[in-house]
A = this chain, B = another copy of it.
């Protein structure tokens, strides 16, 4: 491997000049720049990452803490992760993978060994144990998700409160009076995961505001569980005509279950999902949904982090606006013939 010294000799300049040509941190005459660039190309020079990090106190590596906890939906996680890696590369950074089970220890370790410059933390709980650590650690960070107390931290997430509200507003606008929230697996609520709680919050508030009736239930991702949960919901509220689903893996089974129960979508039952657009469009009927823009959030997360590394002070909280797309799964509330016979 060629070193910066080799390049300098080849170009007939000082090593520092090569460094400055590469970093652009001071002005270089066009001729010198060209000569150096030619030598770099000729030798196939690539700076040694460790040497650079040691001298500059910057590793150009971000840590990504990926949780793999019970009830999490993996494909969505991976969309975030991919977006983070892709965006990081655009800013000349690489991404180190930290699993959540190494937990707080892992964060401390990578910080103290100066392995990474900053960290992206996913799957934030309302009372996340990593939050105090992050505040103490002097490691620039961005949380994808909001803890209850976000003081001093930079966070970004979809506006889940608004997402739920949009769903309820949409259903209420279509005349639905009794609707349900089919949520994440219960483990997710028990961990007090931010997005699930905030969705529930928004659902409650909107239902109250519209003066309509709202039921909430978690749901495990298995066909049987979906069946049981839907039946339970219909037992509690036979006149249920609308469903908001925040649980990607059960979407398919849910539609099957409704079919097998003889409830047509959207004629008898309107279904709204909070899920990735491609998932919504892959269903039959195509689901009206509020999208989870993982790509956009991951990208913005990296941009916020980079701006912190550049010494800027980005906004502490970024709520990505929720957008509802009406498709084929939601329609006017049915006239409740059923109510007279039930």
List residues of chain A with CB under 8 Å of any chain B CB: 1, 44, 46-51, 53-54, 59, 61, 64, 68, 74-75, 77-78, 81-82, 85-86, 89, 94-99, 101-102, 109-110, 112-115, 222-224, 252-253, 255-256, 282-284
Q: Are B75 and A282 in contact (CB under 8 A)?
A: no
* List of B residues within 8 angstroms of A78 by Cβ: 68, 74, 77-78
Q: Interface majority SS on A: helix, strand, loop or mixed?
A: helix
* List of B residues within 8 angstroms of A77 by Cβ: 78
Q: Are A99 and B75 in contact (CB under 8 A)?
A: no
Q: Closest residue of chain B to A58, judged by CB?
A: B50
Q: How far is the CB of A331 from chain B (nearest CB, A)?
A: 21
Choose from B1, B47, B61 the contact partner of A96 (Cβ within 8 Å): B61
Q: How far is the CA of A89 from the CA of B115 in the complex (A)?
A: 14
Q: How far is the CA of A50 from the CA of B58 in the complex (A)?
A: 9
Q: Are A54 and B46 in contact (CB under 8 A)?
A: no
Q: Are A85 and B97 in contact (CB under 8 A)?
A: yes
Number of copies: 2
* List of B residues within 8 angstroms of A51 by Cβ: 50, 54
* List of B residues within 8 angstroms of A48 by Cβ: 54, 113-114
Q: How far is the CA of A334 from the CA of B109 in the complex (A)?
A: 60
Q: Closest residue of chain B to A46, judged by CB?
A: B112
Q: How far is the CA of A94 from the CA of B282 in the complex (A)?
A: 37
* List of B residues within 8 angstroms of A86 by Cβ: 99, 101
Q: Closest residue of chain B to A2, judged by CB?
A: B112
Q: How far is the CA of A7 from the CA of B324 in the complex (A)?
A: 58
* List of B residues within 8 angstroms of A101 by Cβ: 86
Q: Are B96 and A94 in contact (CB under 8 A)?
A: yes
The winner among A49, A86, A101, A256 for most chain B CB atoms within 10 A is A49
Q: How far is the CA of A50 from the CA of B86 in the complex (A)?
A: 24
Q: Are B49 and A114 in contact (CB under 8 A)?
A: yes
Q: How far is the CA of A282 from the CA of B221 in the complex (A)?
A: 9
**Given A54-B50, A252-B223 in contact, is the A82-B68 Cβ separation under 8 Å?**
yes
Choose from B64, B97, B114, B284 the contact partner of A224 (Cβ within 8 Å): B284
